[in-house]
């Protein structure tokens, strides 16, 4: 099996701070994009409650539908990038589309308008995500895939720290100045689009002649262990409540809406501190162990959210939530790379991202509804139950073949 690329072999490519140039630059791209995106997302609970006069149900609905709308593109962008064997164009278009809509939140006075903009933003994510993951995986040494995804997610989350902090400072200094938040986010987001020009494309020759449109038969051609893994990841994703909804816990203990971005920042700091190490750890002890540990932490954080009555307890809950994300996000993607051949990796990442997206869609819609109309404690315990079922299925998938760490 022979692969071709317009880049030199991995070991001969230019290094920046010990990282492949592609991986380093894509880290910067995600840094600026998440700086921008998390400014907006961390402000959403305050924006929804104070401007749109809405609650958890509307917030979960917006986040759920927006992620769901991107699912079909997450499938086709990965497969189409496999077909034409180019990835950078998808990354550029995806980031540009997301950034372009962000200043228009200024003009929104209802949930429907915000939903429309959020859908476009997430469609951009759907276009870019699978091809981007392919470039990262192919640009990495085989034994450093977890480390590369860990770095990428760490940079992603550093931006996720600065975004909420900036939003908090703006809203503290100028209460209700959401227009300033949105315009600042737009300017910072433009930098993410610029950095894509410094990424070199990769070319991977297909193993099979011809090309196929996406179908469930294409999924059947993927390794059996990977297919079972996808089902478990779907259930685990349904059990993972949107962070935006969890941020409403701050209001339940009597804090002001302006303080909400600070808790998102705490989550981001925790994620950043542990993300790189979690990716590296998965290379050493195996992705399965790190993933299981991560979802156990998720259940622990939900218990703390359910019991939290004070600021310190809520802070610890968000710290634990950040460690969970660090242990699962990069390792889930690394697992995909280890479970599939390079020639089908774009399709595999597309299906993987779509499965997570559908799970997040259900989590957002159902979780937000339960949170607002049934109660936050009920929503949290239902989510814990789903995570338990997902882990059981993941354990089963780990027994189907033993060739993946």
- The CATH number assigned to the domain holding 151 equals 1.20.1250.20
Whether residue 395 has pLDDT greater than 80: yes
In this structure, are residues 206 and 343 in contact, taking their beta carbons and an 8 Å threshold? yes
- Of the listed ranges 17-21, 70-74, 118-122, 277-281, the least confidently predicted one is 70-74
How far apart, in Å, are the Cα atoms of 256 and each of 105, 178, 244, 249, 261?
Answer: 22, 15, 15, 11, 11
Residues 70, 119: Cα–Cα separation, whole Å: 7
Q: Which residue's entry shows tokens 């278009």?
A: 93
Q: What's residue 135's pLDDT?
A: 87
> Does some domain include residue 249?
yes
| Radius of gyration in angstroms for the set of CA atoms belonging to the chain, rounded to a whole number | 20
> Does some domain include residue 331?
yes
Q: What's residue 229's pLDDT?
A: 83
Q: What's residue 379's pLDDT?
A: 94
Whether residue 403 has pLDDT greater than 60: no
Quick one: average pLDDT of 373-383? Answer: 93
Q: Which tokens go with 18?
A: 């010990």
Please give the full DSSP string across 302-331, using - where no structure is assigned: HHHHHH--SHHHHHHHHHHHHHHHHHHHHH
Q: 58-94 pLDDT, tens per residue?
A: 888 888 888 777 766 766 776 677 777 778 888 999 9
Q: What's residue 337's pLDDT?
A: 73
Residue 89, exposed/middle/buried by CB under 10 A (0-12, 13-18, 19+)? Answer: middle
> Does some domain include residue 403?
no
Q: What's residue 203's pLDDT?
A: 67
Return mean pLDDT, the chain: 82
User: Which segment, 64-68, 270-274, 284-288, 300-304, is predicted with the most confidence on average?
Assistant: 300-304
Quick one: average pLDDT of 203-231? Answer: 64
Residues 125, 331: Cα–Cα separation, whole Å: 19
Question: Domain count of the chain?
Answer: 1
> Does some domain include residue 359?
yes
Quick one: average pLDDT of 105-118? Answer: 90
> Does some domain include residue 282?
yes
Q: What's residue 71's pLDDT?
A: 67
Share of the chain above pLDDT 70, in %: 85
Domain that holds residue 179: 14-205+217-398
> Does some domain include residue 80?
yes
CA end-to-end distance (rounded Å), the chain: 23
> Does some domain include residue 7?
no
Q: What's residue 101's pLDDT?
A: 94
Residue 335: closest CA among 201, 240, 233, 239: 233
* This model's pTM is above 0.95: no
| Length in residues, the chain | 405
> Does some domain include residue 405?
no
Whether residue 41 has pLDDT greater than 80: yes
Whether residue 404 has pLDDT greater than 60: no
- Of the listed ranges 124-133, 264-273, 348-357, the least confidently predicted one is 348-357
């Amino acid at each position: 099996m022979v692969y071709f690329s317009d880049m030199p072999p991995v070991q001969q490519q230019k290094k920046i701070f010990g990282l492949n140039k592609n991986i380093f630059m894509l880290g910067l791209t995600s840094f600026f994009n998440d700086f921008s995106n998390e400014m907006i997302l961390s402000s959403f609970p305050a924006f929804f409650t104070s401007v749109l006069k809405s609650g958890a149900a509307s917030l979960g609905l917006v986040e759920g539908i927006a992620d769901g709308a991107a699912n079909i593109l997450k499938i086709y962008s990965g497969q189409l990038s496999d077909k034409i064997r180019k990835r950078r164009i998808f990354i550029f278009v995806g980031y540009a589309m997301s950034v372009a809509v962000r200043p228009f939140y200024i003009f929104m006075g209802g949930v429907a308008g915000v939903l429309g903009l959020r859908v476009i933003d997430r469609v951009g994510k759907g276009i870019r995500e699978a091809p981007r993951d392919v470039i990262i995986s192919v640009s990495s040494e085989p034994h450093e895939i977890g480390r590369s995804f860990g770095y990428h997610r760490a940079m992603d989350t550093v931006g996720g720290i600065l975004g909420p902090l900036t939003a908090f400072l703006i809203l503290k200094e100028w209460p209700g100045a959401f227009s300033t938040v949105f315009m600042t986010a737009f300017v910072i987001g433009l930098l993410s689009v610029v950095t894509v020009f410094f990424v070199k494309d990769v070319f991977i020759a297909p193993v099979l002649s011809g090309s196929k449109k996406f179908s469930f038969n294409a999924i059947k051609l993927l390794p059996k262990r990977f297919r079972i893994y996808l089902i478990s990841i779907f259930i685990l994703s349904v059990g993972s409540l949107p962070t935006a909804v969890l941020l409403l816990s701050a209001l339940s203990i009597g804090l002001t809406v302006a303080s909400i971005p600070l808790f998102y920042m705490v989550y981001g700091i925790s994620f950043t501190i542990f993300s790189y190490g979690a990716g590296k750890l998965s290379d050493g002890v195996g992705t399965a162990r790190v993933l299981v540990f991560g979802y156990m932490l998720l259940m622990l954080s939900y218990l703390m959210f359910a019991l939290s009555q004070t600021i310190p307890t809520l802070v610890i809950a968000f710290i634990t939530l950040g460690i969970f994300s660090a242990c699962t996000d990069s390792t889930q993607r690394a697992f995909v790379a280890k479970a599939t051949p390079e020639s089908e990796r774009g399709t595999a990442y597309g299906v993987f991202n779509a499965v997570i997206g559908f799970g997040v869609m259900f989590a957002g819609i159902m979780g937000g509804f339960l949170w607002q109309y049934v109660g936050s404690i009920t929503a949290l315990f239902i989510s814990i139950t789903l995570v338990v079922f997902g882990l059981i299925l993941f354990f089963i998938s780990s027994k189907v073949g033993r060739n993946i760490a």
